[in-house]
Structure 1
Amino acid sequence: MLTATMVQPADAATHKSSALAARLRAAMVAQNFGDLLDTTPPGSAQARALDAQPESESGRPKHAPALSAAAATTIHQQPQVDTTVIELDKKGRPVSSGTVLMSPQYKNGVVVPVDKNLRTTAVRYRLWDTDQWDANNGQGTTDTVPGRENAPIDFMEPYSASIVKLMVGFGIMQLVDKGSIKLDDTYAYTPTKPSDRCEGATTRTIREYFDRMITISDNGSACTLIKVMHEHGGVDWLNQQFQDLGLDMLQLKGTDPANGDWSPQITMSSLDTAKLLMLINGVSGTAWTAPNGKPVTSDILSTSSREFFLKELGDQGWNNVLSTTNYCGYSYPTQGMPQRIAQRWIGADGTVTVNDDPTDGKYQYPVQPCQDAAQVTFAHKTGLTAFAAGDAGIVHSLPGQANRNYIIVSFSNLGWRYQDANRPNPGVQPAVNRTEKFAKLGRAMDGYEAQK
């Protein structure tokens, strides 16, 4: 039986999850996602130009500025947003959770009911299709989880973009634990098929590919590691494991063994992604019970693999969605959750450089004021395309700060196609290629957690 988001694992403290879900829903409604501007309105010349481009997943797509300069109109319907927060105790065990979905059908958000294993059968998840979202009132037509035809909530899940790299990383670390590969193995990537997303032949260690995939969201490295997984039978095995664990929406489907490229068939939900992060973070005892009745624990990864994964997530370079420390000193976007970022990105002049792109990789102002004011760490992964923007990570308080331990994941279709009405003219400061509404959401939820 499904309950109102109450989480009661046998070995965890209990908490009224309904309060968390209600707070999350209120915070999402407060963002007024429906007042965003669409730079490529359906049917416009700009939309046709974007459709002609190959799918791009980058910190700053090279063709974005021209589209951003186009005359924009208010988004024509409520966007798709899927957000989960799971609160943890000091041993990493789930205390409470809240999952809220927004769409044209659920303009004020709908709380997703979950059972004691943080699982839901109340949502009929549909595969993302931008054209269907534009023209079909946000309704999808392709089911991603079988047997949900009579589920009370019908929701087309936004594309996960680069957050898919969490699944890839999880699969790679399991291959390491099995002894199939080693992090310091040198691997020569030799694709047998060209790809717009993947790079040409390269040779690096698995560790280097992993670091580039997570910290700077390098697509070529992700392609390489997916190809490695295919060569060891790891992709099909991983997909089956996700199903066995009850993580129905984690599906690394449609990947190409010739080059490691991936397709829009890949799916993730905020709830299942948050549960995956809970395993990476570490849980004392049973995290939840799988559909086959077996306990799910953090032993699914070795301690060393979890620690390596967490360090990589903590070294994230793109701190610009739920957290915005990279933009310290800017008038826009607003400050997100008060995160302390990894020192590796901060240069001698105190500014952040992730890559050499002056519009989204090199930041203008010293970040030390925000580092000094930081209250939390955020081990996370972001994602961005024209049609998708999201963030997924683990939050812990810094010493001396109000205690918080929680996971937050948000997926949306609000990629760089959409802008805030209050975004400064790019001539005033470099353009920001995503909405600041997720920074506001991250700040609101972190403030809620800090007060508890």
Structure 2
Amino acid sequence: MRKRLHGAVGLLAVGGLLGTFVPPAGAEETGRNRLAERLREAMNEVRFQEVLDTAPPGSATARTFAGTVDKEARGLQRPATVADPRPIVQQPQVDATVIELDSRGRPRSSGTVLMSPLYKDGVIVPVDRDYSTESVRWRQWDDAGWYANRGQGTIDVIPGRENAPIDHMLAYPASVLKLMVAFGVLRLVDQGVVGLDDTYEYRPAEPSPLCGEATAKPVRRYLDESLTWSSNAASCALIKLLHDHGGIDPLNRAFSDLGLQTLRLRGTRPSNGGRWSNEITMSSLDTAKLLLLVGGGPGTLWTAPDGTPVTRNVLSPASRRFFADTLAQQGFNDMLSNTNRCGAAYPAQGIPQRTLSRWIGADGTVTVNGLWFGHDVRPCDAAAEVTFAHKTGWVGNSGADAGIVRALPGRGGRHYIIVVFSNLGTQYIDPHRPPTPPGVHPVTYTEKFADLARIIDTYEKNRYR
């Protein structure tokens, strides 16, 4: 009853605030979560199970990855060529959340769907009025366990969920973990421990292929490099900065206190900020709520487990603005959006976002940290409908994207958060993937993510009149 009342109240409030939002017919009477239903339908429509595996079980490539702890370093082992890809052996893991926002950035509805070998057609996660759930037994990602244990996992992320009706192993978040790092560093900024313009001297005490050499840069530059072009070296520096100031444990406690219990930045090395392992966890729902703190509107966004109202003031206005503005500078528009490859027959274009000019050369093509995408993006910019402030991530068996979509003036009015985590990283390709032209950055993900995102974006656009 509580959930039905919350849905009805939310729809009535939206009608009063926006006037242009059209709720699905019958939603007030039935209490159906149409958004979650549409998300589940879309995940089935794109048929994630049709991808090919370039490192199938027992292959030589799979053996080179076996036992790797540092997942981002493993990502650097991406094979240059694909000798004999095979059909994926079972339904992939996909964890997706969409939170609809009103014109002021306040949440009004959400949908979360999980897909795995246990839930081949996807399962809708029931959430309460705080956009939280106790219905899922969240498990930590296990590389070998995905094959051996039907994607179920063996290590619990949240204790006491043994009897939960849904059992799901969280995909490794890859570089989307940098959202947690940035949040932690900006908390230190708000506390006066460090300043954005302070120069941090990163001096790793032990070498790491992930983290690189010693550097000295302003904190804001490390944050920019970490979020906009996903510098692992800058992110290692920021994690070490957190360790230097005793900020890791308080950050994890803050996540738990806020009710974001699946967000855990654990297992990293204080000596260099490296070792990004499976102990680091994020669910799509909690990640979407973290983004809600960054871009959210006024008032109570949800209530914490101890009954405390959670507002956007968890971060200062200056820190929120810096965080959101930096995410909006994203260079890698190549998972849920593919506008860096504007006009290409492959991959699908996904969310029709605007590309930031900082990455666009005189010929209209995008280059990010030396990686050239080879397509003139100016036609897509002219037709763009939204901005997409987001963060992508990948390793061989992880593909992730999380961000905030907002319509450009006169382009449909939608405003929502979308987060997708999956085990479909660079190890998995589409059967119809064409050869990569010389010098062009290869397609990183299956285009099915972009197909999914475009379905959801069209749905959200049509929710407004």
* TM category, shorter: over 0.9
Is 1:292 the equivalent of 2:303? no
In 2: Cα distance, 1:282 partner to 1:59 partner: 35
Give the structure 2 partner of residue 436 of structure 1. Answer: 447
The whole-number CA distance in structure 2 between the counterparts of 1:443 and 1:309 is: 25
Question: CA shift at 1:136, angstroms?
Answer: 1.6
1:179 maps to a residue whose letter is G
Stretch of structure 1 that moved more, 226-235 or 183-192? 226-235
- Are the aligned partners of 1:192 and 1:258 in contact in 2 as well (CA < 8 Å)? yes
Contact 1:160 1:390 in 2 (8 A): yes
Contact 1:46 1:70 in 2 (8 A): no
1:133 to 142, 146, 152: 146
Distance 1:153 1:63 in 2: 33
Equivalent residues of 1:209, 1:221 under 8 A apart: yes
Q: Give, in angstroms, the shift of residue 11 of structure 1.
A: 11
Q: Does residue 37 in structure 1 map to residue 52 in structure 2?
A: yes
Q: What are the equivalent positions in structure 2 for 1:152-171 lying under 5 Å apart? A: 152-171=165-184
For residues 371 and 100 of structure 1, what CA distance do their matches in structure 2 show?
31
Measured in 2, the distance between the counterparts of 1:37 and 1:157 equals 21
What's the secondary structure of 2:157's corresponding residue?
coil
Query: 1:374-395 CA distances to partner (integer Å, 9 max, x unpaired)?
Result: 0000000001000100100000
The answer on whether the counterparts of 1:87 and 1:406 sit within 8 Å (CA) in structure 2 is yes
Q: Which residue identity does 1:31 align to in structure 2?
A: V
- Aligned position for 1:113: 126
Q: Which residue of 2 aligns with 1:279?
A: 293
Which whole-Å deviations, capped at 9, do the CAs of 1:295-328 have from their partners, x for residues lacking one?
A: 0000111111111111110000110000011011
- Residue 184 of structure 1 aligns with an amino acid whose one-letter code is D
Paired residues in the alignment total 446
What is the deviation of 1:273? 0.3
Query: How far, CA to CA, are the matches of 2:45 and 2:2 in structure 1?
Result: 27
Alpha carbons of 1:299 and 1:219: their partners in 2 closer, same or farther (altered >3 Å)?
Answer: same
TM-score, structure 1 normalization:
0.94
Asked if 1:351 is matched to 2:390, the reply is no
The 3-state SS of whatever aligns with 1:133 is helix
Which residue, 313, 317, 335 being the options, matches 2:327? 313
Equivalent in 379, 383, 397 of residue 369 of structure 1 = 379
Residues 320-376 of structure 1, C-alpha deviations (whole Å, 9 max, x = no match): 0000110112221011110001110001111100022xxxx2011210000011000
CA offset digits 1:123-159 (Å, max 9, x no partner)? 0000001100012211201101111000000000100
- The separation in 2 between residues aligned to 1:131 and 1:205, in whole angstroms, is 40
Deviation at 1:10, TM superposition (A): 12
Deviations 1:83-128 (A, max 9, x none): 0000011121111000000000100000000011000000000000
Q: Distance in 1 between the 2:140 and 2:75 partners?
A: 25
Task: Report if aligned partners of 2:71, 2:174 keep a CA contact under 8 Å in 1.
Answer: no
Paired residues of 2:68 and 2:74 also in contact (CA < 8 A): no
> Contact 2:334–2:444 at 8 Å: present in 1 too?
no
Q: Is the 8 A contact 2:352 2:385 kept in 1?
A: yes
* Contiguous gaps of at least 5 residues in structure 2: 16-22
Kindly state the Cα deviation for residue 53 of structure 1 after the two structures are TM-superposed.
Answer: 6.5
For 1:128 and 1:2, the matched residues in 2 are separated by: 33
2:108 counterpart (69, 74, 95): 95
Q: CA deviation at 1:284?
A: 1.1
AA aligned to 1:290 is A
Residue 58 of structure 1, CA deviation: 8.0
Q: Which residue of 1 aligns with 2:20?
A: none
Of stretches 92-101 and 194-203 in structure 1, the one that deviates more from structure 2 is: 194-203
SS in 1 for 2:354: coil
Counterpart in the other structure of 2:346: 332
Measured in 2, the distance between the counterparts of 1:48 and 1:58 equals 15
Distance 2:149 2:199 in 1: 48
How far does residue 397 in structure 1 lie from its aligned partner after superposition? 0.2
Q: Please, what TM-score do these two structures have when normalized by structure 2? A: 0.92
Give the superposition deviation at 1:5. 11
CA distance in 2, matches of 1:5, 1:58: 48
**Structure 1 segments of 4 or more deviating over 6 A?**
none
Q: Which amino acid aligns with 2:300?
A: T
Residue pair 2:341, 2:376 contacting (<8 A) in 1 also:
no
